[in-house]
Amino acid sequence: MARKRDHKRLLIYSHDSFGLGHLRRCRTIAHSLVDHRTDLSVLILSGSPIIGNFDFRPRVDFVRIPGVIKLRHGEYTSHSLDIGIEDALAIRGSIIRHTAEIFAPDIFLVDKEPLGLRGEVKETLTMLKAQGTPLVLGLRDVMDDPDQLNEEWKRKNAVPALRDLYDHIWVYGLRNVCDPLKGVTVPDSVREKATYTGYLRRGSANGSASAALETTVGNDPYLLVTTGGGGDGAGLIDWVLRAYEHDPGIPHAALLVLGPFMRTNLQAEFMDRVGRLEKVHAITFDAHVESLLAGAAGVVAMGGYNTFCEILSFDQRCLIVPRTVPRLEQYIRAKRAEELGLARMLVDDETRDPHQMARALRGLPNQPKPSEVHIPGLLDGLSIINGMMGQWLAAPPSAGLTVIAQNS
């Protein structure tokens, strides 16, 4: 019945146990697709506790599944409900499956986790596969160190799903920049499913971002310091504050975005330090961080996928201070970006020398811009995805999926 509808439907799953990256990536793709196609509706399944803080285009909506968080020892627990993790996962899995049954998507896109959190999407994947619904896995440009990813995918039994369930894999990057499958033990049949789309271009947003600027830095040039979700961003904020405390003469003011998931006691401590610095301002969260980033004289960031896309999209000079635990994802991306001349990297060795950061902040506005490095197809991700979706949705059900473009 879904195949006979004039109006097409895309279902996206984003597990969102921590941070903002998965949600923001899925939202960007959904908005681009509905802008491209007037006959498409997109429904996002998300566990993000703050998904309601974001605005969505017409024909894009979300189903909020109960949130879970990952504890320090690696286990998960319910985010808000006083129930065990198994019950939380059972509720999530049931919502996912029944939403898929009723929504009856023409295509199902899963973000990052081949079987979902603790396998919660496997039943839905199997059901949709039996119905002939195309299944797509979306991967960011870097997943982790190959040895770590091999171990993780073996533990999660992910490779059989990549081999037997998924019709296609989208890699949101370029193979000649970062290849998440390099060094990973998967069959050739899995590699053949991969399309390297290029990075996802971002655009400016209006609204609360301009209000945030007006109440902080005003019209003065500023360096934006962003931690993404902020749950692991305390080291970056501390290092930047040490630099301004040591060197109050740094020419540009700094606007810190602490992130909604930073612990409240850390937020209070940092706000207290900010209050004693004339050139430093801070906010906790802005749903339109793209506008803050677009107007900055330079960006200091941890180097998550979405921030990296924004750095490239707005051609921003950037200093990346990547995290190195529990994943090497940000370090691998930042190191490669520095090798290509797209950004500069500083590694936090926990000494956080204020002289070193102050020098980097002083030099940041004079760094080369990413556009001075020419990489064909670097930001073609959304246009490639729009094209593939257009081809697949127009094809008869028996036609299957074909690749229309694959960048090197």
Among the listed ranges 77-86, 212-221, 222-231, 398-407, which one has the minimum average pLDDT value? Answer: 398-407
269 in Cβ contact with 263 (< 8 Å): no
Q: What are phi and psi of 79, to 5 degrees?
A: -75, -45
| Torsion (CA) 47, 48, 54, 56 in degrees, nearest 10 | -20
pLDDT of res. 403: 55
Query: What is the dotted CATH code of the domain comprising 2-201+379-399?
Result: 3.40.50.2000
pLDDT of res. 241: 98
**What is the value of pTM for the model shown?**
0.93
Least Cα distance to 322 among 230, 219, 236 occurs for 236
pLDDT in tens, 123-142: 999 999 999 999 999 999 99
pLDDT of res. 1: 41
pLDDT in tens, 36-73: 999 999 999 999 888 998 999 999 999 999 988 776 55
Structure tokens at 64: 């909020």
> Residue 367 above 80 pLDDT?
yes
- Say how far apart CA 124 and CA 328 lie, in whole Å: 31
pLDDT of res. 311: 97
Looking at the chain, the whole-number percentage of residues with pLDDT higher than 90 is 77
290 in Cβ contact with 203 (< 8 Å): yes
42 in Cβ contact with 60 (< 8 Å): yes
pLDDT of res. 394: 84
One fold for both 2-201+379-399 and 208-372?
A: yes
Q: For the chain, give every domain's residue range.
A: 2-201+379-399, 208-372
pLDDT of res. 76: 76
Q: 98-122 burial, b for 16+ CB within 10 Å, e for fewer?
A: ebbeebbbbbbbbbbbbbbbbbbbb
Q: How high does pLDDT run on average in the chain?
A: 91
| Class (C level, CATH) for 208-372 | alpha beta
> Residue 208 above 50 pLDDT?
no
> Residue 406 above 80 pLDDT?
no
> Residue 407 above 60 pLDDT?
no
> Residue 166 above 50 pLDDT?
yes
pLDDT in tens, 232-285: 999 999 999 999 999 999 999 999 999 998 999 999 999 999 999 999 999 999
What is the pLDDT averaged over residues 20-44?
95
pLDDT in tens, 369-382: 999 999 999 999 99
